[in-house]
Amino acid sequence: MDEERAFLAAVLSKIYQRGSPSPCSLETERRLLMRCQELSILKFEESNRSGSIVFDVTGSVEGLSSMLESCFFPELLVEGKDLDGLIELYLSICTGPEKEFFNKICSALPLKNLALMIVPQRTFRSMGIDGHVSERVDFAIEVPDLDRGGWLKIVIEIDDSSHNSTQFKDKQRDKDLSNAKWKVYRLRTNEKHKWDRAVENIAIDLITAVTPNIIEASVRLNKMEEKRRNAIRDMVLVPMAESKIAFLASRGLVRNVGQGIIVKSPRNLDLEPAVRSVMDTIRHIISLYNLNVHFKVKLGPEGTVDYYACPHPSMWSSVDPGERLCPIVVSPEVVERMIVADPVPLYYKGFEETVDRSLRFFLQNIFRKYDFRYGQLEIIRRALSLEHVVGLLPTSGGKSLCYQLSSILQPGISVVIDPLRSLIVDQVDNLNRMGMDRIGVIISRGRKNISEESALREKVMDNMMGGMYQFIFIAPERLQIQKFSKLIMEQIEIPITYCVVDEAHCVSEWGHDFRTSYLNVGRRFAERDIDRPNWRTHFIALTGTASRNVLVDIMRELMIEDEEAIVEPRSYDRPELHFSVVKVSKEERIGTIVRLVSRIVEKNFYESRKVPSGLIFTNFAGSEIGVIPLKNAIRSELSGVKVDCYAGKNPENRDNNETMKCDWEDQKINVQSDFKNGAVDILTCTHSFGMGIDKPDIRFTINAMLPRSIEEFYQQAGRAGRDGNDSDCYLVFSDDEPGLSDQILDDNRTPLDDISFRVNNLDWERRDDALHNTWFLSAAFQGVEEEKQQLRYLLRREIELVLKDESKLRVTSIPFLLSRKDPFNGKDETVLEKIIYRLQTIGAIRDYYKDYNGQKFTLHLIEFDSSSIYEQTRKHLGRYISEGEIEKRLGRASRSDPYEAVEHCGGVLIDFIYDKIVKRRRRAMHQMLELARVGTVDIDRFKLDMLAFLEESEFTKPVAGLSLSDDPDAWLEILERLDGVDSMRKLLGACRRQLEETPGHPGLLIMAGFCALSYSNVANGMKDLKNGLFALKDSVSDDHTIMKTVERFFEISERVQPSKREYILEALLELGMPDVDRFVYKRSGQFGYAHLTSLVKITSELGIGRE
């Protein structure tokens, strides 16, 4: 088969088989609505609602909704001779006893059409049941149960005496049917006196499922004037026809049936809108990828395909050379396998206008959006070009649409990796709302029945292998399981075109939300690519906020080498969000929040007569400001408001009880659904709910305590106002001990190892928010010496013993329980896994898997020598620091013994992590605290400072480049670009963000301090300036270079902000150099602090005044 025809067939079928059934095209929907409006059946208006295409429809015919619903039962639309003819055909394939039963059930039903739903001789395959090849049931009923939800599924078997010898087989069939949720009636021919009761029950079930209201509506519809009846009928049947005709077209492309297909409508269904839309879709796929394919779909009196919208007697005739297509009864579980084809790269450079026109067509027709938001097109173009992409878009920027549209427009499966269950549930729900249901989900669902959980997981994996899904959602931990990894790498026979890493900042250890399990993602798919070069997997990594080092880490872990892969937003500003900051004492916090919520609810109810949707975030599930105390306090004050809570773990399950864990998992799914659907108004939650949840009409957020970083605050506040309407974002925090918080968060004054000791020895009343947040540091990082000891233990006690024993395979298992013993002393296996990861990073371990059932790690070891360990360590550190700093950390003397080399390099890596990453997290906490303090004084500056921190400016890239440079001239050149307050704000934001990555960099500290003196806070500015100058002296050994730097820095300061001369001179004295002291004395004002201090230092140096 021609590769381009196969590609076109695969993409066309993905578009039109994305749902059961798939929504029709926009143009088809418009034309059907317009026709109904012309016939006074309804009125409609098309509007742009927050970027979405929305049809507001008002019925002009009584009972229109029920009539439309009745059209989903095509059997109810059959009339007259056609109905009689079908009943006769049903009876013609029945045995005598089967005819007797069928006539009985017909007599029990209020409408003859209902008998068409009792299908004779239905195959097991059409019912979604494997293992019964060519077998049939006597009768099957499968219809949507409008009364109770779900599906009504009934099988009726008429057993004569021949079944006496097939009882075992019948029991197995019944068991398989029951497992597939079919209710089985076995009616014996020698017990006909029992038939009437069974017939009555079946008739009642069928009438109840279809509902009397729908049956009555179908009767009224069939009696309407023909034009109006057909217009209503077409509203349902034409959209269904569109997806069926597209399916036929894709099958024709695969079978090489020539230049196209001709569709005939024997029953006068108006298929013209459907055929035109399918042809438009084909044209846009061809145009998008510049395919050399000629294929048309058109209507004609002599069709190659006869399309019947409803059951018809001629469908039962012998098949002629053409095809007949009619909606037939097939179980929802029966899904056509996706067409397999090689992905084709999009070439868009130079053709942007043509490409973007086609992409907008698909955006509007699949997602009902008018246009792309900033950054989306760039991400989608790059993804469709089969290039890796790392997309940063602000909250509400439409990240999910980027991977969803890209995935639909290429053959194959997309594996979507999400860090949280709440995100997976939310993403799947959003896809379902857009009419997409070919989705597999492999997550723990909190079931107490382990075998049921396992069976469901196996079914999803089987369907995945069979090409039944377009999207597979997993947590990153799934890739640590050997069985699933083997399926991904070896067994699945369909392209995995994309691996979508949602909330990609979790990949990086530099971020607060780091998960070790993410580190397998890049490696797993890289291994698959080696064996299947034509089916390479391309990464779409998406996040709302990420610093430069986090981006570098994402690219490193996903093995993305192209720097152009990063797509960043122009701005993080969301004008619809209105910020407020409230400082409270710990005792006042809960009361303040309750009063705040009460005021918000009262104001919103007065304006819109409804309770607003809101989220209240806290950092802890438990404690006095946990989700449950917050929920209870609001509930008790606002009795009419529906309030609930959500947290990753049950805050009341302190003993880790399995039953309570399962109950909590079930409860979380229900709470999330209730909140999204409006059954819950306000939710108190931890960050496990705040990452990426998409509910458009959230009107307010409250952070009940200080977030851990500016990025985290922005992400959580950004849950509000996603529909573009005004929303309020409040930050409530306590800062009762500002001096103590500053001291503990300052790594120059308080070593990490002292934090836990100092905070734990404080009275509970003295622990404000910043001090509470240090718990996250202590929980994530046990200490430098502790980690070095753990690495040494694992290396010497486990790895070395296996590698030196030649009789053993290079594979070893380590139980999770080891993590709870000395020297690990962890609460769970994550402490042990972190050390395994450290060893893997420096090349001492090739790979590892987690066996959750067996509660153990399986390590795949590798023969290594000292040179390979040093090489891998240099390569890793080279992503973050300069060559000079690498050599300073590693030292000149390498260890020749490979195990000593591992200990040395592992120790260097741990030192680096604590020196850089831990400091980064501390600084992030401190910057959030400083920003909150600004907000209590000036809310406008609060927002400007936050945006300056988040956004890219002309200073972002040069400032980021400083992390790999020790040259003072590099940052002095950046300072020389300053030309006013606005540029100082931007430079301060860029420096603050980069200081999270390289906390002790002298140039960054000096620039940040310099800008803060004028624009922000003098005390903070002086602190950074002095720390920067101190670090400069430590990093530059040449006094002449330092002096030159001082002179140039002072010259710049005189030009940019001469009013701060005395502060600058005072800070310069921190260097403690005689030449600098004299420099300060000559330039300082008489009797000022700098003048007097420098005079004292000079006289001391000269020995004046000594005895």
pLDDT reading at 765 higher than 80? no
Q: What are the tokens at 1101?
A: 């140096």
pLDDT for res 319: 37
pLDDT for 250 equals 92
- Asked, for residue 83, whether it belongs to a domain, the answer is yes
Q: How confident is the model at residue 1107 (pLDDT cuts 50, 70, 90)?
A: very low
Which of 150-154, 380-384, 819-823 is predicted least confidently?
Answer: 819-823
Average pLDDT of the residues in 634-640: 90
pLDDT value of residue 342: 93
Helix residue ranges, H only, 498-619:
521-531, 548-557, 589-608
Question: What's the distance, Cα to Cα, between the start and end of the chain in Å?
Answer: 102
**Which of 576, 24, 464 lies closest to 275, judged by CA?**
24
With bands split at pLDDT 50, 70 and 90, how would you rate the model's confidence at 333? low
Ranked by mean pLDDT, which of 445-454, 657-666, 1087-1096 comes out on top?
1087-1096
What percentage of residues in the chain have a pLDDT greater than 90? 50
Residue 671 and residue 693 share a domain: yes
Q: Look at residue 883 in the predicted model and tell me its pLDDT.
A: 82
Question: Is-contact 764 734, C-beta < 8 A?
Answer: no
Task: Looking at the structure, tell me whether residues 45 and 99 fall in a common domain.
Answer: no
Task: Indicate if 295 and 431 belong to the same structural domain.
Answer: no
State both tokens at 721: 């106002």
What band does 191 get if pLDDT is binned at 50, 70 and 90? very high
Q: Based on the structure, what is the number of domains in the chain?
A: 6
CA 983 – CA 959 distance, rounded (Å): 13
**What are the tens digits of pLDDT across the range 477-520?**
998 898 888 888 777 888 999 999 998 888 887 766 778 888 88
pLDDT grade for 1020, boundaries at 50, 70 and 90? confident
Lowest-pLDDT range of 203-207, 415-419, 890-894? 890-894
Query: What's the mean pLDDT in 698-718?
Result: 93
In-domain check, residue 746 = no
Whether residue 1010 lies inside any domain: the answer is yes
- Residue 659: per-residue pLDDT: 64
Average pLDDT over residues 517-524: 84
What number is the average pLDDT over the span 746-750? 80
The pLDDT value given to residue 320:
40
Cα 645 off chain centre by: 21
Range of weakest confidence among 297-311, 643-657, 688-702 = 643-657
Residues 6+ apart with CB under 8 A from 163: 170, 188
Note whether 79 and 14 are same-domain residues: no
Cα 901 from Cα 905, distance rounded (Å): 6
Within a domain: 509: yes
Q: What percent of the chain has pLDDT over 70?
A: 95
Q: How far apart are CA 103 and CA 181, in angstroms?
A: 26
Domain boundary among 567, 587, 609: 567
User: Tell me: the pLDDT tens digits for 12-34?
Assistant: 999 999 988 889 999 999 999 99
Q: Do 367 and 451 belong to one domain?
A: yes
Task: Dump the DSSP string for 172-185.
Answer: HHHHHHHHTT-EEE
Same domain, 686 and 816: no
* pLDDT tier at 318, thresholds 50, 70, 90: very low
- Least reliable range by pLDDT among 127-136, 352-361, 949-958: 949-958
Q: What is the pLDDT of residues 221-235, one digit of tens each?
A: 999 999 999 999 999
> Which range is least confidently modeled, 279-288, 368-377, 524-533?
524-533
Quickly state the pLDDT bin for 321 (edges 50, 70, 90).
very low
pTM for this prediction: 0.85
Give the confidence band of 683 by pLDDT, cuts at 50, 70, 90.
Answer: very high
Mean pLDDT on 710-729: 91
Decide if 231 contacts 21 (C-beta within 8 A): no
pLDDT band at 948 (very low <50, low <70, confident <90, very high): confident
pLDDT, position 1105: 53
- pLDDT over 70 at 764, yes or no: no
Q: How far apart are CA 1066 and CA 89, in angstroms?
A: 101
Q: Does residue 476 share a domain with residue 400?
A: yes
What lies within 8 Å, CB to CB, of 851 at 6+ separation is: 481, 482, 813, 857, 858
**In-domain check, residue 758:** no
Place of tokens 């798939």: 22
R_g of the chain, CA atoms, integer Å: 34
3-state secondary structure 428-458: HHHHHHCCCCCEEEECCCCCCCHHHHHHHHH
State the amino acid at position 891 in one-letter form: G
Residues 51 and 184 placed together within one structural domain of the fold: no
Query: Mean pLDDT over residues 645-656, rounded?
Result: 77
Q: Is residue 946 part of a domain?
A: no
Residues 422, 557 within the same domain: yes
17 or 999, greater pLDDT? 17
Check residue 372 and give its pLDDT: 94
pLDDT in the model for residue 332 = 64
Q: Which of 103-107, 806-810, 941-945, 1009-1013 has the lowest average pLDDT?
A: 806-810
- Tell me the three state secondary structure of residue 474: strand
pLDDT on residue 154: 96
Among the listed residues 131, 129, 14, 127, the one whose alpha carbon sits nearest the alpha carbon of residue 439: 14
Task: Give the pLDDT confidence score for residue 630 in this predicted structure.
Answer: 94
What tens digit of pLDDT does each residue of 437-461 get?
999 999 876 555 677 778 888 888 8
Residue 65: per-residue pLDDT: 95
Can you give the pLDDT at residue 1055? 87
Alpha carbon 586 to its chain centroid, in Å, reads: 35
Domain housing 630: 579-734
- Computed over every residue of the chain, the mean pLDDT equals 88
Residue 511 and residue 432 share a domain: yes
Is 751 within the bounds of a domain? no
Domain end residue (candidates: 567, 598, 625): 567
**Ranges 34-38, 780-784, 1016-1020, 1057-1061: which has the least confidence:** 1016-1020
Q: What is the per-residue pLDDT for 754?
A: 81
* pLDDT given for residue 361 in this prediction: 97
For range 34-56, the mean pLDDT: 94
Same domain, 445 and 386: yes
CATH of the domain at 666: 3.40.50.300
- The predicted structure's pLDDT at residue 493: 82
User: Ranked by mean pLDDT, which of 105-114, 474-483, 879-888 comes out on top?
Assistant: 105-114
- Asked if 443 and 475 touch (Cβ cutoff 8 Å), the reply is yes
pLDDT tens, position by position, 786-839: 999 999 999 998 898 888 887 667 889 999 988 888 888 877 888 899 999 999
Between 226-254 and 272-289, two packed helices, what is the crossing angle to 10 degrees? 30
Q: Are residues 495 and 383 in the same domain?
A: yes
| Across 874-878, average pLDDT | 88
**What's the pLDDT score for residue 322?**
45
350 vs 132, which has greater pLDDT? 132
- Domain end residue (candidates: 914, 940, 968): 914
Encode burial over 694-703: b for 16+ CB neighbours within 10 A, e otherwise.
Answer: bbeebbbbbb
**pLDDT number for residue 323:** 53
Q: Where would I find the H helices in 812-966?
A: 830-841, 866-877, 883-890, 898-912, 919-937, 939-950, 956-961
Reported confidence tier of residue 675, pLDDT bands at 50, 70, 90: very high
In a domain, 534, yes or no: yes
946-950 average pLDDT score: 86
Predicted local confidence at residue 951, as pLDDT? 79
